[in-house]
Amino acid sequence: MIRRFLLLTLVVCAPSAAFAQAKPDALAKQLEANERAINVAVQKGDLAGFNALVASDGFAMDGSGLMAVSEFVKMFNQMKIATFTIDQVKVMSLNDTAAVITYRFTGKGTMMGQPIPSPTLASTTYVNRGGKWLAVFHQETIPTPPPPPVKK
């Protein structure tokens, strides 16, 4: 009797466990692809491509402060990305409609004629709206080295 119960449990739960693991992997791949596509859209000056992946009511934050997507769109042609890489990617699903991706961005480019910081540690919060994952919040932090050890 116990063996049948264990076998039944395995047969019922195994597909669920496999699906549960496959879904986060698929989400991680989707969000990483979205981040790359957003950067490529900026690199190519493709505002339509950018707008397709970023919520119009979203915003971003970096060392210069908070900026609404609507403000960034006005300056879109001032952002020039020559090259970039994204690595150290991690994705955390918060629930069925929200997730956060973190990564390191390394690149060369300018914003309003000034060099962009590189590398930066970045995160983007995504929400699923009508079956489409859109970036609603993006932040970038310039990594800083740890302070030197205190001499005793």
| Percent share of the chain, pLDDT over 90 | 79
Q: Is residue 152 part of a domain?
A: no
Burial of 6 (0-12, 13-18, 19+ CB in 10 A): exposed
pLDDT in tens, 85-121: 999 999 999 999 999 999 999 999 999 999 999 999 9
Q: Is residue 148 part of a domain?
A: no
Give the CATH number, domain containing residue 37: 3.10.450.50
List 134's β-bridge partners, or say none: 127
Number of neighbouring beta carbons within 10 Å of residue 105: 20
Q: Is residue 104 part of a domain?
A: yes
Q: What is the DSSP letter of 119?
A: S
Domains in the chain, number: 1
Average pLDDT over the chain, rounded to an integer: 87
Alpha helix stretches (DSSP H) within the chain: 2-44, 47-53, 69-74
Q: Is residue 146 part of a domain?
A: no
pLDDT in tens, 14-41: 333 333 333 679 999 999 999 999 999 9
- Domain hosting 129: range is 2-141
CA distance 100 to 142: 19
